[in-house]
Structure 1
């Protein structure tokens, strides 16, 4: 199924990591236009393709979101990828970091969904893809604030899926494990690269799979959670005390 061919797509957080890789993969899938957004255009890599339209966007900024929504009225696929991760456990971690993760990962993505839902409905059949996290199922205490923001985002994504189903908008949730991006820099985990991960995400979307876990690590964790949520909690507990 050629979900992305000849489509106009907006990707947030397109300057690095999975977002950057998604842009490249979408070009290979025949996208007509890609709005590639990030907070600072100076950090956007050189994208030598006329189909790419770089735009500055901080998804916590209401005014910028409104401006982008006014520019990208032809968007048919919205990929909410922008996110932040501040380390720290729930009882002793820096509260400002947790608040920032919630502001970006949860409220910022909600603002994007609200701004673009009418556009997607107008351009239906259309698609929304939210990049969430495997920590939506069970938190890793060393990144507890991040995990909480992603759990909240996953819940919001499922709600929006129901809300928009009658309007011809299909909503996907992507819950990857640790991917070898700047967000996980310094980790000694064996992680897949973002290019491979991006290709798998698009393949799963093309197959119509609504809840996507694109990597082996994430799938192992998801399988443990499906069998018994306590199994995944135990896996994260063991990882937490191994790190300490």
Structure 2
């Protein structure tokens, strides 16, 4: 689909990748950008329509779908993360919190807006996933599990929404320079670069965007003799 003249809703649009999406959408000629955030006052980008939207609250998702009935593209970007492994004392509570936003939030938004997209000609659904959809080294264990679940959801939605001609794109990337990994001493890609590659892929009709080299290497390694999701030799 094309961005010019599109009407787009971005979840988690008050900072990081979400804010970068909103800014780039405006630059590419989107007719309207709804910037969803738990606190609409935290949306500071000029030119967008701030929208109260906590994807963990069904009533706010329903209200957003009723208000933004002109949407032709939904970008499910809102997400939470927390470092730690599955053997940590709080891992069950952490996993539930990750899944509530990163999986159930995407599911809620997709169900609520599927009829809206259909009514407006099909449009598109872009889900922000991660390299950890495929590999889980334990540093962000619950976050990775939630992104694996969201990847599976994205693949199912691609089939379920095909009949209404809704393009479904999964965006995968490694470390991005956002608050989530501020304390990780690793190479990071800028949110702006990730967003440009994602929207280029969307406009080209892609189903999946591997937005950086580490992600491309991991995806290619899934079928290696020793797959990339297993511990690798030092």
Normalising by structure 1, report the TM-score: 0.91
Distance 2:154 2:89 in 1: 26
Shift of 1:197: 1.0
Shift of 1:234: 2.3
Match of 1:234, SS? coil
Q: Which residue of 2 aligns with 1:193?
A: 190
Q: Which residue of 2 aligns with 1:231?
A: 228
- Contact 2:135-2:228 within 8 A present in 1 as well: no
CA-atom RMSD in angstroms: 1.6
TM superposition outliers: structure 1 runs of 4+ over 3 Å: 226-229
Once the two structures are superposed, residues 149-199 of structure 1 have per-residue CA deviations (whole angstroms, 9 ceiling, x without a partner) of 110110011101100101111111111111111111111101111011111
Give runs of aligned pairs for residues 90-169 of structure 1, distance below 5 A: 90-92=86-88, 94=90, 95-169=92-166
Q: Which residue of 2 aligns with 1:31?
A: 30
Q: Is it true that 1:3 corresponds to 2:2 in the alignment?
A: yes
Shift of 1:62: 0.7
Distance 1:158 1:228 in 2: 25
Distance 2:204 2:223 in 1: 21
- Contact 1:177-1:217 within 8 A present in 2 as well: yes
Once the two structures are superposed, residues 15-65 of structure 1 have per-residue CA deviations (whole angstroms, 9 ceiling, x without a partner) of 111111011111111100000011112322x2222xx11011100001111
Match of 1:120, SS? helix
Give the number of equivalent residue pairs.
233
Distance 2:209 2:223 in 1: 14
- Contact 1:5-1:29 within 8 A present in 2 as well: yes
- Gaps of at least 5 residues in structure 2 are none
Q: 46, 49, 67: which one pairs with 1:48?
A: 46
Match of 1:177, SS? coil
Distance 2:99 2:211 in 1: 24
Shift of 1:84: 0.4
Q: Which residue of 1 aligns with 2:76?
A: 80
Shift of 1:93: 5.1
Normalising by structure 2, report the TM-score: 0.94
Distance 1:229 1:92 in 2: 28
- Contact 1:60-1:103 within 8 A present in 2 as well: yes
Match of 1:89, SS? coil
Distance 1:198 1:140 in 2: 25
Q: Is it true that 1:208 corresponds to 2:190 in the alignment?
A: no
- Contact 1:178-1:217 within 8 A present in 2 as well: no
Distance 1:93 1:14 in 2: 32
The structure richer in helix per residue is 1
Q: Which residue of 2 aligns with 1:241?
A: none
Distance 2:111 2:214 in 1: 32
Match of 2:26, SS? helix
